[in-house]
Amino acid sequence: MTGRLDLPEPDAFTRTYWDAAAEGRLLIRRCRACGRAHHYPREFCPRCWSEDVTWEAASGRATLYTWSVVHRNDLPPFAERTPYVAAVVDLAEGPRMMTEVVGEGELSAGADLEVAFREGVPVFRITPGTGRGK
């Protein structure tokens, strides 16, 4: 255990995902049986239960679905980051993902986001030069 609750502990299955994130790439899983993408990475499709799933590079684009500004969190290292924005985003490929929104910009439902990485963990920021969503 790292002692930090914001860093992953990869296992044999998720290592591919976390290694890609450390390189600045966001991966999702896509089911070859039903064609649907999903996130978080699982060894089976959560929609049709097929085990015929594969890794796929995500575009890194998303829209803000909902968020909450966290003003207090005593767990390390979150206390030093408060306030921070815990969020749920809709990836362009379809899956919904829990994450954090970092950087400047006005938060609004549907805001265009792009992936960024902090210590190998995907976070999102408002896409520069864009207004609200689509």
Q: Residues of the chain with pLDDT > 90: what percent?
A: 83
Asked whether residue 53 carries a pLDDT value surpassing 60, the answer given is yes
Query: Three-state SS string across the chain, please?
Result: CCCCCCCCCCCCCCHHHHHHHHCCCCEEEEECCCCCEECCCCCCCCCCCCCCEEEEECCCEEEEEEEEEECCCCCCCHHHHCCEEEEEEEECCCCEEEEEEECCCCCCCCCEEEEEEECCEEEEEECCCCCCCC
What local confidence, expressed as pLDDT, does residue 42 receive?
A: 94
Task: Report pLDDT digits (tens) over 59-109.
Answer: 999 999 999 999 999 988 888 889 999 999 999 999 999 999 999 999 999
Q: Residues of the chain with pLDDT > 70: what percent?
A: 94
What local confidence, expressed as pLDDT, does residue 130 receive?
A: 67
Q: How far apart are the first and last CA of the chain?
A: 41
Contact 107, 132 (CB under 8 A): no
Contact 64, 113 (CB under 8 A): yes
What local confidence, expressed as pLDDT, does residue 131 receive?
A: 53
Asked whether residue 132 carries a pLDDT value surpassing 70, the answer given is no
